[in-house]
Structure formats: C-alpha cells, structure tokens
Amino acid sequence: MKEAYISIFSSTVNPDKEEALRNILNNVDIEFKGNKYLIYKHSQIPKGLSTIEDFKNTFLIIKKFDQLTGNYFKPIFQWAGRHNFEDILPTLKSLGYKSFRLILNEDFKIISGHRRAVKALERQIAKQTGVRVDRVSPSTEIWILHTKDDYGFVMLKITNAKQSAKE
C-alpha cells in the first residue's frame, strides 16, 4: 500500500526536482506540485532525497485538508482532537523516534499561537503513541501546515537533509 508524502524544497519546484524524485524513488506517483513542495505516494519511506538540490524535509502525511480558508487551523485542531495517532506508531518505531514537538506552520514559516490547543494535542499524541514531548531537542516533529494553495496538513517529519546525509 502506498502512503502519501510531502517533500519541501528551499526554492521553487521545477521539472528537474520532479525528475530527480522519480530517479531516486522507483514507482512514485506524484499527485501535486506546489510552489515549494511535491505531494506524492510511495510504498516505502523515502530515503536518499538529500541528493536533490534544495531539498529540505520530507513528511508522512497523516491528514490532508482541501480548500481551507478563513480560520483554517480550527478544523485541523478539531480533526486532530478526535483522531487516534496510534496509526503512526509503526513509522515512529521503524525510525527510532522517541520524542517530538508540534509545529504550527503557515506557508512553510513557523508561527506561534494556539498555545493551549498545541499543548493539549501534544499531550494527546504522547499518550496515544508513548513518544514523549520534547520542545527543545526532539527526535522528530509533527507539523500542522496551511499552504497558500489552501491545503492543510497534519504530518510527521520523517527525514531532513542532515539525517539523509548520514544514510
């Protein structure tokens, strides 16, 4: 079964990055090309992506929201409050993650706010997964992201350029 992933780049996505992704990941299905990101499906956790120029991070998409406008974080937090995050346990265990922090992101820029909702969701995820909250030096992050394309995501950070370089 193919899982949905999103890879983020520091500059605009171009056909070369899309082709580079296809060269690294066999049998990848690219679903959407945003300004600085690609959404795709693959049957394994993507590895070796640090060879793509301007590569920043890759995430497992836990939930995607379409056409989010206005108070867009509200439906994301409502869904997350009802969701059981035990479904990400296999990924957390296979990558050896023992701690996390929750990050709010508006068009790939970290924002502050919604402190009570963030802390409540962190407690919920920690309780459901057994992974502890570490705001200072976590082994991974869970991002709540809203893009200027009016998409919203809840996603688990699975790799970044530093980690991929060690592979």
pLDDT tens sequence across 124-143? 999 999 999 999 999 999 99
What pLDDT, in 10s, does the model give residues 102-121?
A: 999 998 889 988 899 999 99
Domain containing 60: what range?
A: 3-165
Q: State the pTM of this model.
A: 0.89
Can you give the C-alpha Rg of the chain in angstroms?
A: 15
pLDDT tens figures, 24-33: 998 999 999 8
The reported pLDDT for the residue numbered 54 is 80
Closest CA to 45 of 156, 133, 162: 156
Average model confidence (pLDDT) across the chain: 88
Residue position matching structure tokens 């780049």: 9
Give residues with Cβ within 8 angstroms of 152, minimum separation 6: 64, 65, 68, 72, 73, 75, 76, 144, 145, 146
CATH number for position 8: 3.30.2130.30
Task: Provide the number of structural domains found in the chain.
Answer: 1
Determine the pLDDT at residue 107.
87
Q: Is 113 left (phi over 0), alpha (psi -120 to 50) or beta?
A: left
Binned at pLDDT 50, 70 and 90, residue 41 comes out as very high
The Cα–Cα gap between 125 and 119 comes to 10
d(CA 27, CA 41): 9
Task: Give per-residue pLDDT as tens, 55-108.
Answer: 889 999 999 999 887 777 889 999 999 999 999 999 999 999 999 999 999 988
Write out the DSSP string of 11-25.
S---HHHHHHHHHHS
